[in-house]
Structure 1
Amino acid sequence: MKVAVLSFAHVHAAAYVELLRDRDDIELITTDPDAPPCDPARGKALADALDVTYRAGYEEIFAERPQAVIVTSENSRHRQLVEQAAAAGAHILCEKPLATTETDARAMIDACEQAGVSLMTAYPVRFHPAFTALRRTLADGSLGSLLSVHGINNSSPPGLEQPWFADPALAGGGAIMDHTLHIADLLDVLLDGEQPTHVYAVANTLLTPDDTDEPKVESAGLLTLTYARGLVATIDCSWSHPSSHPTWGGLTLTCVGQRALAEFDAFPPLLDGYDTTRATTRWQPAAIDLNKAMLDSFLTAVRTGQRAHPDGETGLRTLRTALAAYESLRTSQSVIKADAA
């Protein structure tokens, strides 16, 4: 199967390439025409470092008729690449957020449906076996009725690696757009697609560097979601980890039910302690590759013709939560979601 990675802009792009390049069943091609000149972390320089085939531009890629593509460009450029890929008949895995506006997200979904290709949103955390176990405890009644869910997805600022994450025109926002969505996806799974009726958000830019005249994106945020059933969920989506932290960040979920409380940690430490040679905290993560699990699911869907999940509609639902949060920030009011089911 011929698979193309479109852009190296996203911090996950290199990981996807490394997972695909040595597979015997994959012919991998890549391109990154929007890369800044002479950036060793982008463009042909990165392709050479990763030892993968590189093409000069998107048109060259689509001329080779890949069966599947992975869109890892800047957020605001997702729509153009997804529409081009759909027109070329390629199935698509698109990084989150699906888009930066609801209009773009809907156009992407429609383009893929009209072309008869799958559109999958990159939410790897739902493939975690521990999350599967959490879903089971909810489904079998072990927790009782769900009363509240508290989600945390914190990290160091991704703009330290890729500056466009702090550019509102390319990213669509800051920490809220970046880190609300993984938790929103897990809530979407646990609640069978039920949407919050109200969204309230607070945020600040205290951790955003002041050494630029460009508009600042939020570096810390907290969302409160209210559901028709009375359930209340919170999402801490801050870029609050310093560069000295032993990991990039983490993701946890605490579910409070009538009968019990269940906790999920997507990136628990296999071993922690103190490294005397480096005078720093040591953190050895548990060996679960969620990106691999997600890619395997996507490629299986491409081969079998099944609908890939999480699909574009899931990406749109979760995007609406982030967009409602930005409306709440603008108005300083709780936002009533018209799409709540």
Structure 2
Amino acid sequence: MKVAVLSFAHVHAATYLRLLHDRSDVELITADPDAEPGDPTRGKALADELGVTYRSSYEEVLAERPRAVIVTSENTRHRQLVEQAAAAGAHILCEKPLATTEPDARTMIEACSTAGVSLMTAYPVRFHPAFTALRHSLTGGSLGRLLAVHGINNSTPPALERSWFADPTLSGGGAIMDHTVHIADLLDVLLDGEQPTHVYAVANSHLAPGHDDAAGDVETAGLITLTYPSGLVATIDCSWSHPATHPTWGGLTLTCVTEQALLEFDAFPPLLTGYDTESATPRWEPGTIDLDAAMLNTFLTAARTGQHAHPDGESGLRTLKTVRAAYRSLHTGQPATLTDPIREVDGHESRTGR
């Protein structure tokens, strides 16, 4: 099956390229024309390093009619590439967040529906077997009602690897845009798509001292509080709070409080700790399955068979609604609802009256 990767902008792109290159059932073609000339981490330089087929433009790739396309561009460029891939008849896996505005996300979903192709959002953590076990424990009924959830998704500032993460015109925002969505997706699964009634957010940009390029004009730390119709309260720590010397990029944990129990989920538990003499830093080997490989396998199976892929575009839209409400809360200093009126200002969503 012919599979295309469009853009190497995202930090996950190289991982996907390696995984796809190693599959005997995939004919991989790629393009990254937006890369800066001479950038060794992107474009033809990266393709040559990984031994994958490279084309000079997205149009050239799509003219080869790939069955499946993976979009790993800068966040604000997702819509354009998803629309192009849908028009070419490809099933699509789009890196998270699905989009940076709700109108863009809805347009992407509609484009794929019109073209009769699947749109999947890249949320690999929901494929973790431990999360599946957590969900079964909560839905089994023996632990009582779910009362509260605390989620943490922290990392080093991704702009240390890709500077566009600190440019709001390309990223759409900082730590809130980047890291709220994974926890929001897990909540979406646990609550069967139930949406919060109110979203309250606080944030700052103090967590990149000495690394101005890692902060730019975006927030580097955020704490989001969600309230639901059932009375459940959830919090999301979405900060870029790990220093560059941290033994891993970051991590993701979930703590669930029920009437009868406390359940904890760690997506990347430490399996082995030690010391790396080459880098003179601690080393931490995570004890988990390859979540990206599990997600790609689900996507490729759906693309091959024509099945509907999950998490789909609607899942991506629901989590994006939480993110946009968080930014409206930051703007007003008050809790926001997902149904607050919004309008477009210079291509960006804004609360009415802003």
Shorter-chain TM-score: what band? over 0.9
Q: Could you tell me which amino acid in structure 2 is paired with residue 137 of structure 1?
A: S
Aligned counterpart, 2:54:
54
CA RMSD of aligned residues (A): 1.5
Q: Residue 143 of structure 2 contacts residue 261 of structure 2 at CA under 8 Å; is this kept in 1? A: yes
Identity of aligned residues (%): 77
Letter in 2 for 1:237: C
Correspondence 1:29 to 2:29: yes
Could you tell me which residue of structure 2 aligns to residue 268 of structure 1? 269
Distance 1:276 1:292, change over 3 A: closer
- Deviation string 1:20-62 (CA, Å, 9 cap, x unpaired) is 0121110000000000111000100000001100000001011
1:227 pairs with 2:232? no
Report the CA distance between 1:276 and its aligned residue: 7.3
Q: Paired residue for 2:45?
A: 45
Shift in alpha-carbon separation, 1:21–1:203, aligned structure 2, 3 A = same
What is aligned with 1:130?
A: 130
Distance in structure 1 (CA, Å) of the matches to 2:16 and 2:232: 36
* Mapped partners of 2:140, 2:218: distance in 1: 42
1:287-298 paired onto structure 2 within 5 Å: 287-298=288-299
**What's the secondary structure of 1:5's corresponding residue?**
strand
Superimposed CA distance per residue, residues 300-331 of structure 1 (whole angstroms, 9 cap, x where no aligned partner): 11111110000000000000100100000000
* Paired position in structure 2 for 1:82: 82
Matches within 5 A, 1:103-252: 103-208=103-208, 211=212, 216-252=217-253
Moved over 6 A (4+): none
TM-score (norm 1): 0.96
Q: CA deviation at 1:121?
A: 0.1
Offset at 1:275?
5.8
- Sort the Cα spacing of 1:316 and 1:167 in 2 relative to 1 into closer, same or farther, 3 A: same
Q: Which string of whole-angstrom CA distances, capped at 9 and with x for unpartnered residues, describes residues 125-156 of structure 1?
A: 00000000000101112321000000000000
Moved more, 268-277 or 164-173: 268-277
Distance in 2 (alpha carbons) for counterparts of 1:283 and 1:211: 27
Deviations 1:160-182, CA, capped at 9 Å, x for gaps: 00000000000000000000000
Distance in 2 (alpha carbons) for counterparts of 1:246 and 1:299: 32
Distance 1:259 1:248 in 2: 34
CA contact (8 A) 2:269 2:288 kept: no
In structure 2, distance between residues paired with 1:149 and 1:326: 21
Instruction: Count residues in correspondence.
Output: 338
